[in-house]
Structure formats: structure tokens, C-alpha cells
Amino acid sequence: MAHTWVLLLGVIAICAYADMAGRIAAITGRAVFDLIRERLGARTALVNLAASYLVTVITLAAELGGVALALRLAVGLAGQRSVRTACRTFGRCSAGRARSGCGSAAGSAGCWC
């Protein structure tokens, strides 16, 4: 419970960034990465891109952990077995999106386990 403030701050920051990025993309018709690269340079754009990818991977890990925990509580799968099952289930569910180019990090989750 001592680190609840980090969770709240993170959720607020992700929501604010997603809102701003969505508005910028909707108005300009260009990706945020392109605009940052144009105005602030390639290094700053690369830092922004890496941070965005890191947040995506952390979110994927949290989702897989949640599925593993739910499987463990509902079915009684123990330890690594619940994590492997969650990875494979999540990978199968999002494989269609990965083939279409959307959610490719999520689509490859089944390959990680």
C-alpha cells in the first residue's frame, strides 16, 4: 500500500500522454514521433519512441500477470504453469491483430513463453 501513489501517478501520466498524442495525431494527421523528430531532432524522437515502447511492454507484462493471477485463483494452476498458460492464451487471442500489423508486441506474447 505504500507505493499506491506511484500507481496513481503513472495512470494519470499515461492517460494525459495518450490524450495529448491522440489530439495531436487527429488534428495534424501525423504521428507524434514524426512531429517530435521534425521539431526537436532525431535523438529526442528516439527517446520518446523508446519510452513509448517500454510503456507498451510493461503494460503487456501487467496484462499477462493479471491473466496468470486470475488463472491461478480460478483454476488453481501453480507458479510458472499459470504464467505459461496465460502467455499462450494471450498470444492466441491477439494473433489475428498481429497478422494485420496491430498489436504485434501482444501477438508475439505466445512466443516469449
Same domain for 93 and 55, yes or no, is: yes
pLDDT digits (tens, 9 = 90+) for 56-95: 888 888 877 777 777 777 777 666 666 676 667 666 655 5
Residue 64 lies in a domain: yes
Residue 103 has pLDDT above 60, yes or no: no
pLDDT band at 48 (very low <50, low <70, confident <90, very high): confident
Residue 2 lies in domain: 1-30
Same domain for 2 and 50, yes or no, is: no
Distance CA 82, CA 59 (A): 18
- E strand or H helix that includes residue 56: helix 42-74
**Higher pLDDT, residue 99 or 12:** 12
Number of domains present in the structure of the chain: 2
- Taking only Cα atoms into account, the Rg of the chain, rounded to an integer number of angstroms, comes to 17
Whole-model pTM above 0.75?
Answer: no
